[in-house]
Amino acid sequence: MVMEKPRIFNTKEDIPQTAKIIDAFSSGVEELFFANNPRFKKSMPEAKEPLDDFLKNHGIKDIWIYYPARDIAVRCLPEDLYFKLRTARNRNIITQDEQINYRNTKVGVVGLSVGSAVLSALVMSGGPKVLKIADFDTVEISNLNRINATLLDIGADKTAVAAREIWELDPFADLHLYPSGVSDDNLTVFITGEPKLDIFIDEMDSVEMKARARLVCRENKIPVLMATDNGDDVLLDVERYDLEPERPIFHGLVEEKEVMNAKNLNYQQWVELATKIVDPKYLPESMRQSLSEIGKTIAAIPQLGPTASVAGTAIAYAVRRIVNNQTMPSGRYVVSLEKCLGQDLRA
Answer with the residue of higher pLDDT: 206 or 285: 206
pLDDT of residue 118: 98
Torsion of CA 69, 70, 76, 79, to 10 degrees: -30
Planar angle of CA 31, 35, 58, nearest 5 degrees? 65
pLDDT of residue 141: 96
Q: What number of CA atoms fall less than 13 Å from residue 61's CA on the CB side? A: 5
Residue 245 CA, distance from chain mean position: 25
Type and span of the H or E element at 107? strand 106-110
Contact 31, 55 (CB under 8 A): no
Q: Assign 233 to helix, strand or coil.
A: strand
Mean pLDDT of the 58-82 span: 97
Asked if the model's pLDDT at residue 31 lies above 80, the reply is: yes
Answer with the residue of higher pLDDT: 176 or 253: 176
What does DSSP assign to residue 298? B
pLDDT of residue 258: 82
**Count of C-beta atoms within a 10 Å radius of residue 107:** 25
What does DSSP assign to residue 347? -
Contact 287, 231 (CB under 8 A): yes
Residue 251 CA, distance from chain mean position: 23
Mean pLDDT of the 74-102 span: 97
Asked if the model's pLDDT at residue 135 lies above 70, the reply is: yes
Burial status of residue 5 (CB atoms within 10 A of its CB: 0-12, 13-18, 19 or more): middle
- The sign one gets for the Cα dihedral 74, 78, 79, 85 is negative
Type and span of the H or E element at 73? strand 72-76
Contact 188, 165 (CB under 8 A): no
Q: What is the mean pLDDT of the chain?
A: 92
Percent of the chain with pLDDT over 70: 97
Burial status of residue 115 (CB atoms within 10 A of its CB: 0-12, 13-18, 19 or more): buried
pLDDT of residue 347: 47
Q: Does the bond joining 92 to the residue before it have cis omega, within 30 degrees of 0?
A: yes
pLDDT band at 17 (very low <50, low <70, confident <90, very high): very high
Q: Of 240-254, 275-289, 291-305, which has the strongest mean pLDDT?
A: 240-254
* C-alpha–C-alpha distance, residues 164 and 155, integer Å: 15
